[in-house]
Structure formats: structure tokens, C-alpha cells
Amino acid sequence: MNAYLGVDVGSVSTNFVLIDEQEQVLADLYIRTQGQPIQAIQKGLRMLEKEVPPSLTIKGAGATGSARQLTGVILGADIVKNEITAHAVAAMHCIPDVQTVIEIGGQDSKMIIIRDGVVVDFAMNTVCSAGTGSFLDHQADRLGIPIEEFGALALKSEHPVRIAGRCSVFAESDMIHKQQMGHSLPDIIAGLCEALVRNYLNNVGHGKPILPPIAFQGGVAANPGIRHAFEKELGTPVIVPEHFAVMGALGMALLAKENAARGRKTSFRGFGASELEFSTRSFECKGCPNHCEIVEIRQDKVVLARWGDRCRKWQDITSTEAAS
């Protein structure tokens, strides 16, 4: 059996998806990165190897996420793309006529505008945590509620309170104030969900034509309270795809399959990459006034790749070393 692997490594989660020749998902994984992307990638490879039959052959691999260059080197990925491309490809695969993609992860959020199967606009918010999963996790922990129950409680609300959601600090202090006033927990949680949605639409979706069908993906899509708040604010249904939490990885698996269809042999290192020793370091290039921070990854003492330079000086050196 042939299969194609997609990996999405972010600051909060590391996601894997394997698809077959019919583009059906064979296996998917969602694990915490915990500030150690190399270890998370290797852990995921070991877990994935246990789930698939020995006869399975990986014919292509792709990487995305904030650590996509690092991931690409460790995997031996054939294709490396940004998160916008990966999420758009996955959304169009699951919902062919999709026009708007709402993606909210642990540390950032995105909106992608698609028309006739082409990405025409996008926006990202990487500055404020008020509209992300990490803020929801923090508030659930503060209230002593498992995050899995957060959304269900919001749906029980009859009179959601209005909470200032433009800033995570103000939102938290406003929640505490509403608690002290005696509002019920479901009303406060529903108000928080609505505040996060307003914050997202104001900061990320500001001025963009949000048309249905709308796909809602990323880890926060598991929260029915947030989905309900989006539907209430936008006045239209919001679709949560089956593999909403790993859509970036799914998109890269699809792109890896497309790349392999062009007759290109894969560079995938195999599941054995989980046992290799990798190390990284960074240094400042003083070759020009830019003073770029160069990131370098090694296997044992061999330099596999460098990136971070605007002029490609260090990347070209790496290519020359590899060729020799």
C-alpha cells in the first residue's frame, strides 16, 4: 500500500496525517509540541509507525507550520509550504465550494478567502492571544473546568453577558468582575466565546468579504460554544470538517501526493528518522548590516541545513557542502 505523509509543527501542537492513493485518511495524530519540535516530530513518527502495517510505503512527505523548515529537514520532506497554502488545500478537499476558512489554533489565528478554488486574500493574527486556544485553555483552568466541557457549558446559557474581548488581560478582569456580580457560569462562558469571536472578526476578518460556505478548522473548532458564537455573529452555518484539528497536515499530505504524481522520487527518511540524533544552534551573521540570525541543524557533526539569511549566503554554502 502506498501512502503520503503530511506534518504540521506549530508552537502548541504537532500533527500528522497519512492518506492513501484515494486520498482517504489512514491515520492522524495530534500531540503537544511542548517547546521541543524535534522530539515531538520523532515521537509522532514512532507512534505512527505502530499504527500502520509494515507493508505500507511512504511515497511522499510534506511539511508545514511555524517549524516547517526544521520539520522538512528531519523528515526529508519533498515539499514544504506555509500554513495558508496547507489549510486552503485541505479545506477545498473537504468542502469543494468553500469560500471562507476560519482557522484558530493554540497561538495564532488565520482567515483565508477563496474564490473559485483560488486563494485571493488572507490575514493572520500572531500578536494577541485573546482570540486563540491558549487563552481559552487558561480561562478553563482558572475556572476549574475541563476544556472539553467549556463549549457545552456555553450552549446552556440563556443570557450571555458581554465581555470586553479586545485584550486577553481586559477579558480576564472583566470575567472576574462578572463573576463577582453573580452572573451564572454558563452565561459568563458564553459571553467569553462571543467576545473571542468579535475579537477575531474585528482583528483578522476586518473588511474581508466573509461568504459561505465557511469552514472552521484548528483545535478551537472542537469548542461548540465558539462555533455557535460564529454562527450567531455571521448569521450563517459554519462547517467543521471531520479532521478539523489536523487540517494543515492533511493539506501537506495532499500536496505530497500531487508532487509524487509528477514522477518525483521521495526524499523521506523513513520512520527510522525517529531514532537519529539531531541538534540545532543559531548564530548571527555579520556579513552585512542586516545581522541575520542563522539557524543551523546538524545530524551528528554534519550540517544538514541552514536558514534565516535574507541573501541565501548560508543556505547556498549548505547546498555546496551537500553536493561535495
The per-residue pLDDT for 240 is: 96
Mean pLDDT on 109-138: 83
Residue 324 scores a pLDDT above 50: no
Surface-to-core class of residue 106, CB atoms within 10 Å of its CB (0-12 exposed, 13-18 middle, 19+ buried): buried
Residue 130 scores a pLDDT above 60: no
The per-residue pLDDT for 312 is: 81
The per-residue pLDDT for 142 is: 79
Mean pLDDT on 43-58: 93
Mean pLDDT on 221-250: 94
Strands 109-115 and 57-64: unpaired
How far apart, in Å, are the Cα atoms of 108 and each of 68, 75, 284?
Answer: 16, 24, 27
* Each residue's pLDDT tens digit, 264-310: 899 999 999 999 888 888 899 988 888 898 888 888 778 888 878 88
Surface-to-core class of residue 247, CB atoms within 10 Å of its CB (0-12 exposed, 13-18 middle, 19+ buried): buried
The per-residue pLDDT for 73 is: 92
The per-residue pLDDT for 167 is: 64
* Each residue's pLDDT tens digit, 75-120: 999 999 999 999 999 999 999 999 999 998 877 889 999 999 999 9
Q: C-alpha 91: how far from its chain's center?
A: 13
Cell readout for 277 is: 540524533
The per-residue pLDDT for 180 is: 77
The per-residue pLDDT for 323 is: 45
Average pLDDT over the chain, rounded to whole?
Answer: 88
The per-residue pLDDT for 256 is: 97
Question: Can you identify the CATH homologous superfamily of domain 2-89+248-275?
Answer: ATPase, nucleotide binding domain (3.30.420.40)
Percent of the chain past pLDDT 90, that is, above it, reads 50
Name the residue with higher pLDDT: 254 or 322: 254
Task: Please report, for the chain, the start and end positions of each structural domain, with discontinuous segments joined by +.
Answer: 2-89+248-275, 96-240, 278-323
- Same fold: 2-89+248-275 with 96-240: yes
* Each residue's pLDDT tens digit, 198-216: 888 888 888 899 999 999 9
Q: Domain 96-240 - what CATH class? A: alpha beta
Beta strands in 153-264 (DSSP E): 214-217
* Each residue's pLDDT tens digit, 137-189: 777 887 888 877 888 888 888 888 888 766 666 777 777 788 778 788 888 88
The per-residue pLDDT for 169 is: 66
Surface-to-core class of residue 296, CB atoms within 10 Å of its CB (0-12 exposed, 13-18 middle, 19+ buried): middle
Residue 129 scores a pLDDT above 80: no
